[in-house]
Structure 1
Amino acid sequence: MSSLKVEFFHDVVCGWCFVLAPQLKLLQRELDLDIQHRSFILQSSRDEMIERFGSMVQAKQTILGHWQSCAEAEDVKRINIEGMRQQRFEYPNGLLAARACQAAHALGGNSAHGLLFDRLQAAHLVHSRNIGDPDTVVAIAAEAGFAPQAFHHSLQYQAPALLDRDLQLGRGLNIRSVPSLVVAERYVIAGAVGVEQLRQALTQIRSHLDQPAGHTTDAGSAPSPAPRGCA
């Protein structure tokens, strides 16, 4: 029996992605999941942040309100709302961090993408660092073990095209929010569903895929209890 492919579409600045990531890892070995990281950013510029939220001040206030819901849903409490509230920098959009993940992917493949995604999310949601600042992002990558010169080169010359590839893939799959899981290139699980709901959905999908041709069963996609996702 082959591993079950799960494409994890995420945005580094999304708190619900931070909630889902450890739950997905928990099930990885149990259910033999092949987790593939995909970047899917919701706002890629300051102008898009203002268009979405009205102002940068309002963007931060609104997003930190979402963080409260994310913090309540965490199994292990890590999200530092007050730490981010006290920072004077504007709340970052996801573009630079997504490109950084793609730079890591170019240098070390899918596992490197996942490693830097986790490090950047922790820097953002736990340690209140400005992942919209290039020097900070390069420093976080160095802390994760990436050679700064090679990483900077990859960030500049390889990451943009790789990010565009993931964005086009997500749009082609009609991804509209993060986190979203695309399982076996057919089934979409949208939102940070709970670990038991996620286990059940993935088990049902595997059972459906293992059925002989012509057999029908309801594999379905797990519903996401709103608002456990970013759109």
Structure 2
Amino acid sequence: MSTLQIEFFHDVVCAWCFVLAPRLKQLQAEFELDIQHRSFILQSSREAMIQRFGSMPQAKETILDHWQACARAEDEKRINIPGMREQDFEYPNGLLAATACQAAHALAGNAGHELMFDRLQWAHLVKNRNIGDKATVLAIAAEAGFDPQAFAHSLQHDAPALLERDLRQGRELGLRSVPSLVIAERFRLSECLTLKQLRQVLSDIRDNLDKTEAILS
């Protein structure tokens, strides 16, 4: 069985990405998946959040309503909605966290990106830490084992260009939502499937990989 590449476009602040990520990992060995992590931010500034949701309080309220649907769909039931409601910081946009994932990528490749993405999502959705705060993000990086000085340097100097590369790739693919998967460079999936559904899709793609050139959307 040959390796099946998946480009996983995600936003750290996206709860649906949090739901999908462990399902991909659960199927990684079964399908010999090469999961490449890509950042794709839906809102990258406070101004963009206000434009999208009307105000920062409304942004938090609307997004936590989305969290409820994600919590119902999640296999492991980790999402902590009451904890986030108790926090007094504004709901963060995805820019800083995505940049941190790219800093980790610069230091430790795709495995570093995956590690930082997982740690930041856990901090955000389970522990309800403010991943829009630079000091918090640097602390999470240190907890994940990154050298603090090297990580801070990478965050400032290496990560922005890497992030722009991922964003440009997502735009060129026409992505409008996360999570989005690009499978074997030909098939695009932009929804959060159940484990059973995802297994079936991957099985169908592997069985028919040589028979089709269509892009699924």
TM interval, shorter chain, is: over 0.9
Distance 1:2 1:164 in 2: 31
- The answer for the alignment partner of 1:47 in structure 2 is 47
The separation in 2 between residues aligned to 1:41 and 1:127, in whole angstroms, is: 21
Q: CA deviation at 1:191?
A: 1.3
Could you tell me how far apart the structure 2 residues matched to 1:78 and 1:2 are?
33
Distance 1:218 1:16 in 2: 28
Aligned to 2:127: 127
Structure 1 CA distance for aligned equivalents of residues 212 and 5 of structure 2: 20
Q: How many percent identity over aligned positions?
A: 70
Q: Deviations over 1:46-105 (max 9, x none)?
A: 000000000000000000000000000011110000100000000000000000000000
Q: Which amino acid aligns with 1:55?
A: S
For 1:218 and 1:184, the matched residues in 2 are separated by 10
Please say if residues 205 and 219 of structure 1, whose CA atoms lie closer than 8 Å, have aligned partners that are also in contact: no
Q: How do 1:7-86 and structure 2 match up within 5 A?
A: 7-86=7-86
5+ residue gaps, structure 2: none
Verify the 8 A CA contact 2:186 2:213 in the aligned structure 1: no
Determine the C-alpha separation between the residues in 2 that align with 1:191 and 1:139: 32
Contact 1:179-1:192 at 8 Å conserved across structures? yes
- RMSD value, Cα: 1.3
Q: Which residue of 1 aligns with 2:147?
A: 147
Amino acid at match of 1:119: R
Give the deviation of 1:208 after TM superposition.
1.4
- What stretches of structure 1 of length at least 5 have no aligned partner? 224-231
Cα distance, 1:180 vs structure 2: 0.4
Offset at residue 2 of structure 1 (A):
2.5
Distance 1:219 1:52 in 2: 33
Q: Any idea what SS the aligned residue of 2:37 has?
A: strand
State the secondary structure of the residue aligned to 1:129: coil
The offset of 1:203, in angstroms, is 1.1
Task: Note closer, same or farther for the CA distance 1:217–1:41 as it changes in structure 2 (3 Å cut).
Answer: closer
How many residue pairs were aligned? 217
How far apart are the structure 2 equivalents of 1:76 and 1:178?
20
Q: Which residue of 2 aligns with 1:227?
A: none
**Cα offset for 1:217?**
5.8
CA contact (8 A) 1:201 1:219 kept: no
Give the letter for the 1:53 counterpart.
Answer: F
Residue correspondence of structure 1 range 172-187 to structure 2 within 5 A: 172-187=172-187
Distance 1:118 1:192 in 2: 17
Asked if 2 retains the 8 angstrom alpha-carbon contact of 1:201 and 1:220, the reply is no
Query: How far apart are the structure 2 equivalents of 1:121 and 1:191?
Result: 18
TM value normalised by structure 1 = 0.91
**Residue 18 to residue 59, structure 1, CA distance change in 2 (3 Å):** same
- Aligned residue type for 2:89: F
CA contact (8 A) 2:124 2:131 kept: yes
